[in-house]
Chain A
Amino acid sequence: MNLRLYLARRFLMLAPLLLGLSLLTFTISRLVPGDPVGLAAGPQASVEIQEALRKQFGLDQPLPIQYLSYMRGVLQGDWGRSLYTRRDVTEALSVFFPATLELTLAAVLLATALGVPAGVISAMYRNQFPDHVARVISLFFVSFPAFWLAMIMQTVLGRYAGLVPIGRRFPVIMSPPPQVTGLYLVDSLLALDFAAFSIALNHILVPALVLSFGALASITRITRASMIEILERDFVRSARAIGIPERVVIGKYVLRNAFIATLTVISLNFGWLMAGAILIETIFDWPGIGLYAVHASLSLDFQPIMGITIVYGVLFSLVNILTDVAYGILDPRIRYG
């Protein structure tokens, strides 16, 4: 089966998946005990006000009708509003979601860019000095809780050394690059605004680094283990025997084989990092989806909850599809299907 057909099928399968996901979230958010309207209207609100609010949000309708009209809205681009702030969910998501996505992507890229070479070097010098160094460093960073490391780095690098800002995505007094993707690093490059790029980079560096530590350790470990396993394969000896230089054997022939296992770990980590981002966002005052999501779920603000769930669902499905496509590119024996 060719790639285009495969992709078409995978995207078609997204539809029932998202339908199921939305149904499930919808049901759960309505079955949870508690009265969101009561919470939103406040303790002093009269019954009339509560009723008006209920009517305004369509909550007086039977549940199936509510679900259908919500889904119709979703398809038309109207994802509802927050019960509290009356802010449009789509509008809020378009602000918060790119911030979280950028942080997570930066962390994944950092973890890969540092973890893969560290794993390769560890495997080449296994049980020698460089391997021990890599092991100690990664043990060090995974052994401390991320929030603690985050605060230490924030204090040391931000407050005392003054090397990086202590929080936020961009200085409050400056306007961010014109929004295209919502990822400041990308948007600033698109606008050819390199000053904005370096400012955005400066802001994201420490939060992304702290967020990446867990993933960094696991990527290093899996790359090392996988490299060691592949280095024992017959084709490595064969390539060496006919005089292929070691750097080609390792950097080209072995690494591609080993990277298949690494890829699995990277895509798994993507999900964990997205969840872990909430904590980091709190510490670094990062205007991401984390706080929005926490507020929404604590107050049973169901339309934001639904919106967040759907966006995450789509994102994870996309990561999965991308990963599967990448497997197929790396390994010709894998048939799409």
Chain B
Amino acid sequence: MSEALLDIQDLHLEFDTFDGVAKVLAGVNLTLERGDVLGLVGETGCGKSMTALAIPRLISMPPGRITNGQILFNGEDLLQRPTGSMQQFRARHLGMIFQDPTTNLNPLFTIREQLVDAVLYQQANVKSVPGRWRGFLPSARQMRKEAQSRAIELMGLVGIPDAELRINDYPHQFSGGMRQRVLIAMALAGEPDLLIADEPTTALDVTIQAQILRLIRSLVHQLGLTVLLITHNLGVVANTCDKVAVMYSGRVIEQAPVRDLFHQPAHPYTQGLIRAVPSGSTSRGGLQGIPGLIPNLIDPPQGCRFHPRCPQVLEHCASQVPGPGAIGSDHLAFCHLYPEGA
């Protein structure tokens, strides 16, 4: 376990709402080793995005509150870091892209402005970047010029043609797929260790989706990235990821290499999930087909949150939260069918 880049342990996150406390994350366990491309899947509202946003500490608190757990990055617990140093951490170690490339770029600034800032502020030793008003200083101009050639290089890396020209455009002059490439370039500007991608292709049409996923895959090889890829789509997982973690109502209930998960799903929820994928095709992953409703987060079921819907429910499922049970090497399930340590 010592080589884990990211190790989330027993993470609990709550939100104060008007109806009561929503227990959004209730013990998330997730491990990424260097070089992993891990897919995080689960129904809508199960806490995938919250898990992702908890890592760079981007959840506003209040109303959010982390009540327990650790987020170990290279062995250091990010939750213990002073808030003020998180910006530096994000700049140096983290890249993040989101679902809708249209709303994630600032509409009022050119690609150059945004990309050059990304390059400048993610450099290890840059504390303050001279703004436009000090731009006449030769040193500042030199700095921006260097950052700009790096920006153009990054645009080439993510496959934007005519980068020297297009860098002067505004986001609305780019197509959706190209905008997502720009955002990837911005995320990669500081040569991060970890790229978190929260449904990066959901807002794009199918052919563009495939291109973006192929790009991410190729960047993993070129740059030695580690990727946490959040998706609804089991097809995306099958094509893009090496490992997969399945979430259900605020917990990871199974983590395994992609092959193992598809061939020997251990958790009854995962089994339902795999069965729900139309046979003969892995390109569309539906998460329907499991009877019952998604649990309420304010008053969730005790014990295993899946037990009211579980076809193989045991007596103690309703009272005890299951711990990790090893199924194979690298394959864990959090289910009483697989007792801890077995």
Contact = CB atoms under 8 A, between A and B. Distances in A.
Interface of A: 233-235, 237-246, 248, 252-253, 256-257, 330-333
Contacts of A246: 87
B229 interface: no
A253 B189 CA distance: 18
A253 B196 CA distance: 22
Contacts of B189: 242
B296 to A, nearest CB: 26
Given A237-B98, A333-B170, A242 B108 contact: no
Given A234-B100, A238-B183, A333-B172, A257 B106 contact: yes
Interface string B74-101: 0000000000000111111011111010
A246 B98 CA distance: 19
B110 to A, nearest CB: 8
A242 B103 contact: no
A331 B170 CA distance: 10
A256 B108 contact: yes
Nearest to A235: B106
B90 A238 contact: no
Given A238-B98, A332-B172, A333-B172, A244 B118 contact: yes
A325 to B, nearest CB: 16
Contact of B58 (A241, A252, A253): A241
A241 B105 contact: no
A10 to B, nearest CB: 23
B96 A242 contact: yes
Contact of B122 (A233, A235, A238, A243): A243
Contact of A332 (B89, B90, B170): B170
Counting chain A CB atoms within 10 Å of each CB, the highest count among B87, B95, B109, B129 belongs to B87
A242 B115 CA distance: 11
B297 to A, nearest CB: 22
Contact of A257 (B98, B108, B118, B187): B108
A51 B88 CA distance: 85
A60 to B, nearest CB: 60
Contacts of B333: none
A244 B121 contact: yes
A102 to B, nearest CB: 27
B83 to A, nearest CB: 10
Nearest to B170: A332
A245 B104 contact: no
A233 B108 CA distance: 13
Contacts of B131: 252
B91 A242 contact: yes
6 contacts: A238-B104, A238-B183, A242-B90, A257-B107, A333-B107, A333-B170
B150 to A, nearest CB: 14
A331 B118 contact: no
